[in-house]
């Protein structure tokens, strides 16, 4: 691998942009994990569903990729809330490992259902934005990635505002801080959990639509993004909203710069290495575990 | 205690021996396909039993036990391909290596008090990292994996002309693992493991060295899992990073223990017996058009078990037996 400053600059820009998307995906996971203490191993598979929905609307329906959000966001909200209601809510009081195993089972089901319906093919949507690029000095910027970065930032900001400034948002935060006290204050905790699960999943709808112009879809695409989301959430500190954003960018940069400097797919080892080190030595995350 | 119960118990203690002797005769009448099915059942029963020591008895759920499976599979295969070391010897090298890795991982994780979901995440990250690491190791065949060269009928290198040879090997391994679990569960070490699972603070207060117990359980579990990995490689004669490391084999290792009953001697075997035949049937019947049929089934069963019978098949059976007169209270169930 020949090292050059141009290559590094390019890798950093790409890493930053994809890191924005990582951050958005992780914010959804952090919301669910932070509020309900449910570690959702099917988070990546929810994203995969969103990406298939967006793909088919674009490839078969001729939709503008960003318009597909009108479908992917409500769809993911309903899927998330529905799955919570049917399978997770009944075992909320069970030991955490049972909940984890349940979501592992769910991810197996979703992955293999996708395999049945869509085969193992890797699908890439051709959109008007897919080939649009800007050249700034030595760096080529893919417009679709820039849009994904900005779109992720806006979505995260809206979500942050929502959690801080609306009654529902406050209820979600209250339920995450102390279930009993929140119940005593007249908050319907079960309904709040349902909403949080739905919103956390809906974030994936946004991410799916933003990614479809430049990222492929396959039944196992969720595996990678699910793991990345865990890495980011742990790195940023569980339930720490801003931490997840910064950590998303860090992991995006690590993946992208690592891929430029290391042979083969060794950059992945670097990402997991960071994850393991953080889990061991700073499980509260680099910015400390802050409640929502 | 009444005589009826005493004789019932004596019968129960002889039953496994009778079962083992009966299973020894299977190759005399079973066809190759049935034997293949039996090998799979026994292999997964064995792996789940190995996982159960750490996951079931000690309560530390590793979601990345495929790390040890892979270490076992790759060590024996590498030693065989490169240095012509018999897998009978290579499997012990793999097991020792896996035990060392297990000790290191266990020490790191438990030294810093990782538990529950965080421990599970570290183990997943480790086995995923192993996938990408081995993908980039050319001497281990990279992403293409490694083949165990078929040299014909050579029992001394764990290669048999038919399925029967493999069947006997894995039958003995599974039987020994169950025997070992039974033996441990009645020893001080077994009680220490259960104490750690049930209440770590209380165990610590009573003088149990919980750190040491957890590391020992990890080492033993890793050692046994790696032996299974070497058998895996010999039986399937082909391994690659994704089919021995990574998520799918990790789930397949723990699945049967959870479905059968965590922290029970027979749970993992019961789970494998209940599920492997259906899954294999689904795979062979639907495999062409429906590649993930068995995994879909595993996922569905895992969800249903977690929702409706979190103590697994043996847990439900124990509860039913409780109603019979003259039986003592069973040990606290795994959670």
How does pLDDT run across A219-231, given as a tens digit for each residue? Answer: 989 988 999 999 9
Separation in Å, CA B215 to CA A145, A226, B50: 45, 29, 14
**Gap between the Cα atoms of A7 and A20, Å rounded:** 20
**Gap between the Cα atoms of B77 and B146, Å rounded:** 8
Question: Contact B306/A281, CB-based, under 8 Å?
Answer: no
**Gap between the Cα atoms of A52 and A211, Å rounded:** 11
**Gap between the Cα atoms of B71 and B233, Å rounded:** 11
What pLDDT does B5 receive? 65
Below-70 pLDDT ranges, chain B: 1-5, 287-289, 321-335
**Gap between the Cα atoms of B167 and B170, Å rounded:** 5
Q: Which of B246, B250, B299 to mutate to test the interface with A (most CBs of A within 10 A)?
A: B299
Residues in chain B with CB shorter than 8 Å from the CB of A108 are 251, 295-296, 298-299, 302
Nearest to A273 among B112, B129, B258 (CB): B129
Residues in chain A with CB shorter than 8 Å from the CB of B122 are 276, 279-280
**Gap between the Cα atoms of A104 and A42, Å rounded:** 6
What pLDDT does B187 receive? 93
**Gap between the Cα atoms of B193 and B254, Å rounded:** 18
State the helix-helix crossing angle for B66-83 and B210-236, rounded to 10 degrees: 50
This prediction's pTM: 0.91
Q: How far is CA A122 from the centre of its chain?
A: 20
**Gap between the Cα atoms of B108 and B259, Å rounded:** 29
Q: Which two tokens stand for residue A155?
A: 């979505």
Q: Find the helix or strand (DSSP H, E) in which A114 lies.
A: helix A96-118
What pLDDT does B335 receive? 45
Q: Which two tokens stand for residue A173?
A: 């935060």
What pLDDT does A120 receive? 83
Q: Which residue of B has its CA nearest to A86?
A: B307
Judge if ipTM > 0.95.
no
What pLDDT does B3 receive? 62
Chain B closest-CA separation from residue A220 CA (Å): 11
Chain B closest-CA separation from residue A47 CA (Å): 18
Q: In whole angstroms, how large is the CA radius of gyration of chain B?
A: 20
DSSP class of residue B199?
-
Question: Contact B291/A273, CB-based, under 8 Å?
Answer: no
A104 touches chain B (CB under 8 A): yes
Q: Which residue of B has its CA nearest to A276?
A: B122
Below-70 pLDDT ranges, chain A: 1-3, 289-292
Phi, psi at B46, each rounded to 5°: -65, -50
Q: Find the helix or strand (DSSP H, E) in which B7 lies.
A: helix B3-24
**Gap between the Cα atoms of B128 and B247, Å rounded:** 7
Helices and strands per DSSP (H, E), number in chain B = 15, 2
Question: Contact B306/A98, CB-based, under 8 Å?
Answer: yes
């Amino acid at each position: 691998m020949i090292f050059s400053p141009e290559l590094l600059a390019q890798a950093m820009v790409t890493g930053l942009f994809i890191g924005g998307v990582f951050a958005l995906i992780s914010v959804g996971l952090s919301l669910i994990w932070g509020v309900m203490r449910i570690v959702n191993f099917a988070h990546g598979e929810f994203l995969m569903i969103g990406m298939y929905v967006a793909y088919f609307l674009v490839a078969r329906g001729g939709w503008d990729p960003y318009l597909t959000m009108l479908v992917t966001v409500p769809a993911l909200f309903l899927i998330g809330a529905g799955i919570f209601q049917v399978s997770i809510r009944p075992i909320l009081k069970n030991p955490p490992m049972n909940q984890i195993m349940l979501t592992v089972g769910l991810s197996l089901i979703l992955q293999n259902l996708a395999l049945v319906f869509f085969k193992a093919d890797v699908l890439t949507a051709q959109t008007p934005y897919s080939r649009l690029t800007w050249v700034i000095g030595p760096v080529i910027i893919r417009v679709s990635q820039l849009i994904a970065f900005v779109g992720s930032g806006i979505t995260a900001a809206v979500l942050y505002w929502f959690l801080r400034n609306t009654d529902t948002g406050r209820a979600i935060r209250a339920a995450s801080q102390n279930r009993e006290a929140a119940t005593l204050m007249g908050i319907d905790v079960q309904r709040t959990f349902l909403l949080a699960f739905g919103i956390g999943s809906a974030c994936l709808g946004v991410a799916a639509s933003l990614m479809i112009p430049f990222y492929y879809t396959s039944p196992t695409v969720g595996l990678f993004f699910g793991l990345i989301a865990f890495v980011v959430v742990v790195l940023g500190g569980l339930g720490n909203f801003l931490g997840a954003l910064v950590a998303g960018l860090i992991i995006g940069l690590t993946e992208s710069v690592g891929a430029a400097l290391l042979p083969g797919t060794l950059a992945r080892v670097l990402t997991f290495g960071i994850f393991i080190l953080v889990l061991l030595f700073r499980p509260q995350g680099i910015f400390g575990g802050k409640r929502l | 205690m009444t005589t009826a119960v005493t004789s019932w118990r004596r019968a129960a203690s002889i039953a496994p021996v009778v079962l083992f002797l009966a299973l020894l005769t299977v190759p005399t009448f079973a066809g190759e396909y049935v034997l293949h099915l039996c090998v799979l059942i026994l292999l997964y029963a064995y792996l789940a039993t190995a996982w159960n020591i750490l996951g079931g008895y000690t309560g530390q759920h590793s979601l990345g036990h495929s790390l040890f499976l892979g270490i076992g599979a790759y060590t024996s295969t590498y030693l065989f391909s490169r240095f012509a070391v018999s897998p009978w010897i290579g499997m012990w090298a793999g097991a020792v290596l896996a035990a060392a890795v297990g000790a290191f991982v266990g020490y790191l994780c438990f030294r810093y008090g990782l538990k529950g979901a965080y421990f599970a995440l570290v183990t997943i990250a480790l086995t995923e990292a192993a996938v990408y690491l081995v993908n980039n190791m050319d001497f281990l065949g990279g992403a293409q994996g490694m083949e165990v060269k078929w040299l014909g009928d050579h029992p001394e290198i764990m290669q048999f002309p038919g399925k029967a040879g493999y069947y006997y090997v894995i039958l003995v391994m599974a039987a020994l693992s169950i025997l070992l679990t039974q033996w441990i569960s009645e020893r001080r070490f077994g009680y220490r493991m259960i104490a750690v699972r049930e209440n770590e603070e209380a165990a610590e207060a009573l003088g149990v060295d919980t750190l040491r117990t957890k590391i020992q359980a990890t080492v033993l579990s890793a050692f046994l899992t790696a032996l299974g990995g070497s058998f895996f490689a010999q039986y399937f004669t082909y391994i690659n990073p994704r089919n021995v490391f990574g998520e799918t084999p990790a789930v397949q290792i723990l699945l049967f223990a959870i479905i059968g009953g965590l922290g029970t001697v027979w749970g993992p075997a019961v789970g494998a017996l209940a599920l492997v035949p259906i899954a294999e049937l689904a795979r062979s019947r639907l495999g062409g058009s429906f590649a993930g049929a068995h995994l879909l089934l595993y996922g569905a069963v895992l969800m249903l078990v977690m929702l409706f019978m979190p103590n697994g098949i043996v847990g439900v059976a124990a509860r039913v037996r409780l109603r019979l007169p003259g039986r003592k209270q069973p040990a606290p169930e795994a959670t």
